[in-house]
């Protein structure tokens, strides 16, 4: 009897992690991506922040599971550490402090952190505006090595027999009745027992994708890295400010800054940089980091985070299309939760079920009357 064959569309974090855990189970796996380099879009354009404290309990659980994997990956997964625990502060001014304190106090939403005097944060960043009323410190979090994580999943998948085909574009799902039997691609038909749509902002756009239950909305987010700041310790912690929604961390000798913009976009225009958002970043930087004189931009870019119609991801089999699976709508948490999401998706495909406590909540949700 031949081994079950799985075709994964997308070689970013969602597809790579799913391929890794499927190949470890002995399944025949083919991963395709239209780009010549894996992780070209959302995976390669994110802020690389390890933050497991998330107001949605299911997402916190997935992030905590993934952090454990990244802290102690299997032998041979990576020759270098997958993250640097420089620490993470979630902080807020007076008007947003109680809201932040309320959800970070819940163990199902945040773990491994504690409230600390705001002076502790000011000691790390004396350049910060003196307007903060609350600081929550998570010492085991910090910055992720996205390239090492993605490379580890792809290398491990290929070592276990998976095939990676780059420069191959998915054109349409191939179906026999309601059953998905493969994908029509720029290289011809690739048949498979199961097809996994893990192509980020483009996951819901493949012609023939049956009955997408809730819709996917890509949202653009800009990141800007300043020129070098001699006074900055390169291992300073990550800081995320609630209320005004602004975060920063050291990067390339300067600071990576984000104003948390999230405009809904067509994915084909989702990486276009908008001048008005760069101005917003500059305004927030001037407001929150007045101690840094004349911050200058060294480079900037835009990437996409793709959301379902509720705060949860969409991971698992489509109930109306046998053979079709989704690993989508990761909403900016793709790297942080990647290991757990990949394992969960692989369980649905390989075993037909998952005992993970988040499994049922993440299944594609079918609106009433749309089945």
The answer to whether the CB of 328 falls within 8 A of the CB of 216 is yes
SS3 state of residue 16: helix
Nearest to 244 by CA among 94, 39, 59, 351: 94
Number of other CB atoms surrounding residue 302 within 10 Å: 20
Condensed to tens digits (0 to 9), the pLDDT of residues 267-326 reads 999 999 999 999 999 999 999 999 998 899 999 999 999 999 888 999 999 988 899 999
Q: Tokens for 103, please give them.
A: 């959800």
Query: Which residue has tokens 């004189």?
Result: 293
pLDDT computed for residue 213 by the predictor: 53
Cα 364 to its chain centre, rounded Å, is 18
Nearest-angstrom CA–CA distance, 104 and 108: 9
pTM exceeds 0.75 for this model: yes
Numbered ranges of CATH 3.50.50.60 in the chain: 5-48+146-215+309-362
What is the distance of C-alpha 169 from the center of its chain? 22
Separation of alpha carbons 125 and 235, rounded Å:
12
335: Cβ contacts below 8 Å, ≥ 6 apart: 13, 43, 46, 48, 144, 146, 149
Q: How far apart are CA 242 and CA 114, in angstroms?
A: 16
Where would I find the H helices in 259-333?
Answer: 275-288
Q: What is the pLDDT of residue 368?
A: 52
Non-local (6+) Cβ contacts of 293 within 8 A are: none
- Averages of pLDDT over each 10 residues, the chain, 371 residues: 78 98 97 97 96 97 98 97 98 97 97 97 97 97 98 98 98 92 96 96 80 78 97 96 97 97 96 97 97 93 94 92 95 97 98 94 73 47
CB 358 within 8 A of CB 344: yes
Coil vs helix vs strand at 303: strand
Distance CA 251, CA 65 (A): 26
Pairing relationship of beta strands 194-197 and 324-328 according to DSSP bridges: parallel
Contact (CB, 8 A) for 44 and 146: yes
Which ranges of 110-260 does DSSP label H, i.e. alpha helix? Answer: 118-124, 146-159
Return phi, psi of residue 309, to 5°: -80, 0
Domain range 5-48+146-215+309-362, CATH class = alpha beta
Distance CA 159, CA 202 (A): 28
pLDDT at residue 309 in the model: 87
Joined tokens for residue 56? 């949605």
Class of domain 88-139+217-307: alpha beta
* CB half-sphere exposure, 364, CA atoms < 13 A: 27
**Residue written as token pair 């997958």:** 82
Torsion on CA atoms 66, 69, 72, 73, rounded to nearest 10: -130
Burial (CB < 10 A; 0-12, 13-18, 19+), residue 281, is buried
Residue found by looking up tokens 């819940």 in the block? 106
The boundaries of every CATH 3.30.9.10 domain in the chain are: 88-139+217-307
DSSP string for 33-78 = ESSSSTTTTTGGGS--EE----SSHHHHHHHHHHHHHHHSPPTTS-
């Amino acid at each position: 009897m031949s081994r079950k064959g799985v075709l994964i569309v997308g070689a970013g974090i969602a597809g790579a992690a799913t391929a890794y855990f499927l190949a470890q189970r002995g399944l025949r796996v083919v991963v395709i991506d239209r780009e010549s380099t894996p992780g070209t879009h959302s995976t390669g354009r994110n802020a690389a922040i390890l933050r497991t404290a998330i107001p949605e309990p299911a997402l916190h659980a997935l992030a905590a599971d993934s952090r454990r994997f990244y802290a102690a990956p299997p032998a041979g997964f990576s020759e270098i550490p997958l993250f640097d625990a420089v620490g993470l502060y979630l902080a807020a001014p007076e008007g947003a402090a109680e809201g932040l304190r309320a959800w970070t106090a819940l163990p199902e939403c945040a773990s491994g952190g504690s409230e600390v005097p705001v002076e502790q944060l000011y000691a790390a960043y004396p350049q910060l505006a003196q307007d903060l009323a609350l600081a929550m410190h998570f010492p085991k979090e910090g910055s992720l090595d996205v390239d090492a994580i993605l490379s580890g999943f792809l290398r491990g998948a290929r070592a276990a027999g998976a095939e990676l085909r780059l420069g191959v574009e998915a054109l349409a799902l191939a179906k026999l009745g309601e059953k998905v039997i493969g994908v029509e691609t720029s290289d011809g038909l690739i048949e498979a027992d199961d097809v996994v749509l893990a192509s980020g902002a483009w996951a819901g756009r493949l012609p023939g994708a049956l009955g997408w239950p809730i819709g996917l909305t890509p949202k653009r987010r800009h990141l800007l890295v300043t020129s070098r700041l001699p006074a900055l310790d390169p291992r300073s912690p990550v800081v995320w400010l609630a209320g005004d929604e602004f975060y920063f961390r050291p990067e390339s000798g300067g600071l990576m800054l984000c104003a948390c913009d999230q405009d809904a976009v067509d994915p084909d225009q989702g990486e276009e940089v908008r001048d008005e958002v760069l101005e917003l970043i500059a305004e927030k930087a001037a407001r929150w980091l007045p101690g840094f004189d004349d911050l200058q931009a060294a480079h900037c870019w835009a990437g996409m985070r793709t959301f379902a119609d509720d705060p949860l991801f969409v991971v698992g089999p489509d109930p109306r299309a046998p053979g079709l699976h989704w690993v989508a709508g990761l909403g900016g948490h793709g790297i942080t939760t990647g290991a757990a999401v990949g394992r969960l998706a692989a369980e649905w495909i390989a075993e037909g079920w998952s005992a993970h406590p988040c499994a049922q909540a993440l299944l594609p949700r079918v609106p009433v009357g749309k089945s």
